[in-house]
Chain A
Amino acid sequence: MLRFITSRFLQSLLALFLVITATFFMVRFVPGGPFTAEKAVTPEILRNLEAHYGLDKPLWRQYLDYLSSLARGDLGPSFKYPNRTVNEIIFDKVPVSAELGSISLAVALVLGIGLGTLAAIRRNTWVDYVASSFGMIGISIPTFVVGPLLVLALAIHLGWFNASGWYGPADRVLPALVLGIAYAAPISRLTRGGLLEVLNQDFIRTARAKGASEFRVVTRHALRGGLLPVVSFLGPAVAGILTGSFVIETIFQIPGIGREFVNSAFNRDYTLVLGTVILYAVLIMALNLAVDIAQAWMNPKVRLES
């Protein structure tokens, strides 16, 4: 088990290094720099700016400098926000996305696992059909359609919520609901499929034969194996949810890290782009690692193979 975790960890480190390198050079090889958009910058000022940020050094030198400051946890200064470091900006924006993400994740898990379980134990009844249609509809209608439609109906026509913004608790409802439903739909389908497979197995019959209540059979025996597909889906899903979908943050004008990332790419803010990419990469890799470990813990077959 320890060997398995160590090798996965080293693999993630390698992937992270590749991501950083690829992004660093990709951003640099693009026409247009962070200061080209500024109006009327004299060549002298441009030179000063570039010298200030170290952009006049050879590329390989910049790359090594970046890696060494990264090793100290310093993501460098932002090119577009004078006097602000990338670390500051990230610490500023991440809590917003994390809050939106946590609420949405709760919505997704409760709704998804709940509906999926209901559908599986009431297979081929109307309960199953309603729950399964929810799954199909939720998968097929994208957030950027659901979001604006809900805003149109609940915010603009009924006036229950603000159409956008991120101030009071009521402003959390619509974005979290839209993001939550988007992930609840696949979770409910995976839960249903996983449970149905497990419910046919011998150990479930044994549990029933022992006289365990149906509730106990489902919650104690079946869900542990039945949720395996959900767990492997959760790795990438949680990363997407916690960092706040770009679309949700755009629709509801939420000052989170997703919107900042898109803006920073438009602005050619090299360090901010790199910083956000690294943040996402670390998060995704950490979550994938967590998923692998959780799967090994939940499934003896995986545990013994490694």
Chain B
Amino acid sequence: MASLTSPAPAAPRLAPVDEPVEQGNSLWHDAWLRLRKNKLATFGLVSLSVIAFACLLGPLLSPYGYEEQNLDLGASAPSRAHWLGTDTLGRDLLVRLLFGGRISLAVGLAATFVALTIGVVYGAVAGFFGGKLDALMMRSVDIMYSMPFPIFVILLMVLFGRNIILLFVAIGAVEWLTMARIVRGQVMSIKKMEFIEAARSLGLGRRRIIFRHILPNMLGPIIVYTTLTIPGVMLLEAFLSFLGLGVQPPMSSWGVLIKDGAEKMEEFPWLLIFPGTVFSLTLFSLNFLGDGLRDALDVRSSKD
């Protein structure tokens, strides 16, 4: 983290840090130290890492495949052979849970990345150029804010088949609006600062100013908001899967597993309880981590 050195005209901090700063400590190093002091955020980071590693490696180590059925066995309670039990088709729940985790996390990351890219570019352009272009662009964002997007996403998924790529795009296209607003606000305030004026008077081009001087100074809010977008995106994916519109069996995602579990919970409660717990724990960790990052990077919670 500390190796992230700022470009030539030293980038000022987003906000002054009160504690005496040891020599050589960058903003990122300070933030890291503050984050580590926050117990809940640390817990979030650790549990997320554990879950992510388990999802990546677990299915490789397991003797069972995620779609491997054992109809003779059927639904069985947790046992030594199947740690979290099996579903009605005799498929190992642990493997399906880990495998579903891959999908859920992948959707969360990919859709957030789509939202991040659109939002940052859009917001930066609007904020940097200002004037009529900015007014037009932000008015459009206002208009899009007032549209019933979750409904559009449902419609898209119903009408165009349940395509996982479409799922990324649809969710990402919904979630970029707030990011655009945040980035625009940041750009507007940063571009008025003296070091930008200095850069301009040195004759630097627009592109260089945007990418080398403005963007690095907005990383704090962008990272924080991205961390907080991921749980929202994962929730949307699970919500769609729960309605039967997201990921399709025999593939699994946490939303699919929770849906199946809810249907069979009367006889086989573990099918609901385990996926529900893991999913909630993940969202919990992401929210804690995002909150902790916000404090550590000293980002104001307001939108602009």
Binding site for B on A (CB under 8 A): 11-12, 14-15, 18-19, 22-23, 26-27, 30, 136-137, 139-142, 144-145, 147-149, 151-152, 156, 193, 239-240, 246-247, 250-251, 261-262, 265-266, 273, 276-277, 280-281, 284-285, 288
Q: Is the interface of A mostly helix, strand, loop or mixed?
A: helix
Q: By CB atoms of chain A within 10 A, which of B148, B258, B279, B283 has the most? A: B148
The 8 A-B residue pairs with the shortest CB-CB distance in the complex, in nearest-first order: A148-B262, A145-B276, A265-B158, A140-B284, A140-B283, A280-B148, A30-B159, A141-B280
Q: How many A-B residue pairs have CB under 8 A?
A: 111
A147 CA to B280 CA, complexed, in Å: 13
Q: Is the CB of A11 within 8 A of B287?
A: no
Q: Is the CB of B145 within 8 A of A288?
A: yes
Q: Which residues of A contact B166 (CB under 8 A)?
A: none
Q: Is the CB of B280 within 8 A of A30?
A: no
Q: Is the CB of A139 within 8 A of B243?
A: no
Q: Is the CB of A11 within 8 A of B284?
A: no
Q: Is the CB of A266 within 8 A of B279?
A: no
Interface residues of B in 246-266 (CB under 8 A from A): 255, 258-259, 261-262, 265-266
Which residue from chain B places its CB closest to the CB of A27 in the assembled complex? B159
Given contacts A15-B147, A261-B151, 9 further A-B contacts (CB under 8 A): A19-B147, A141-B276, A141-B283, A142-B239, A142-B279, A142-B283, A145-B258, A148-B265, A239-B148
> Given A140-B231, A145-B280, are A11 and B142 also a contact pair (CB < 8 Å)?
yes
Residue B202 at the chain A interface, CB threshold 8 Å? no
Q: Is the CB of A142 within 8 A of B280?
A: yes
Q: Is the CB of A152 within 8 A of B154?
A: no
Q: Which residues of A contact B155 (CB under 8 A)?
A: 23, 26-27, 265, 273, 277
Q: Which residues of A contact B158 (CB under 8 A)?
A: 262, 265-266
Q: Is the CB of B146 within 8 A of A284?
A: yes
What is the minimal beta-carbon distance from B293 to any residue of chain A, in angstroms?
Answer: 15
Q: Is the CB of A262 within 8 A of B243?
A: yes
Q: Is the CB of B146 within 8 A of A247?
A: no
Q: By CB atoms of chain A within 10 A, which of B147, B272, B276 has the most? A: B147
Q: Is the interface of B mostly helix, strand, loop or mixed?
A: helix
Of A136, A147, A152, A276, the contact of B284 (CB 8 Å cutoff): A136
Q: Is the CB of B262 within 8 A of A144?
A: yes
> Given A23-B155, A148-B262, are A137 and B243 also a contact pair (CB < 8 Å)?
no
A231 CA to B155 CA, complexed, in Å: 29
A280 CA to B79 CA, complexed, in Å: 48
Residue B301 at the chain A interface, CB threshold 8 Å? yes
A148 CA to B270 CA, complexed, in Å: 12
Binding site for A on B (CB under 8 A): 139, 142-148, 150-152, 154-156, 158-160, 231, 235, 238-239, 242-243, 255, 258-259, 261-262, 265-266, 269, 272-273, 276, 279-280, 283-284, 287-288, 301
What is the minimal beta-carbon distance from B302 to any residue of chain A, in angstroms?
Answer: 8
Which residue from chain A places its CB closest to the CB of B143 in the assembled complex? A15
A288 CA to B160 CA, complexed, in Å: 30
Q: Is the CB of A265 within 8 A of B154?
A: yes
A30 CA to B157 CA, complexed, in Å: 11
Q: Is the CB of A149 within 8 A of B287?
A: no
A152 CA to B279 CA, complexed, in Å: 18
Q: Which residues of B contact A156 (CB under 8 A)?
A: 265-266
Q: Is the CB of A11 within 8 A of B143?
A: yes
Q: Is the CB of A246 within 8 A of B243?
A: yes
Q: Is the CB of A137 within 8 A of B284?
A: yes
A141 CA to B273 CA, complexed, in Å: 12
Q: Which residues of A contact B273 (CB under 8 A)?
A: 149
Which residue from chain B places its CB closest to the CB of A137 in the assembled complex? B284
A240 CA to B288 CA, complexed, in Å: 25
Q: Is the CB of A144 within 8 A of B284?
A: no
Q: Which residues of A contact B242 (CB under 8 A)?
A: 144, 247, 250
A280 CA to B147 CA, complexed, in Å: 9
Which residue from chain A places its CB closest to the CB of B263 in the assembled complex? A148
Q: Which residues of B contact A288 (CB under 8 A)?
A: 145-146
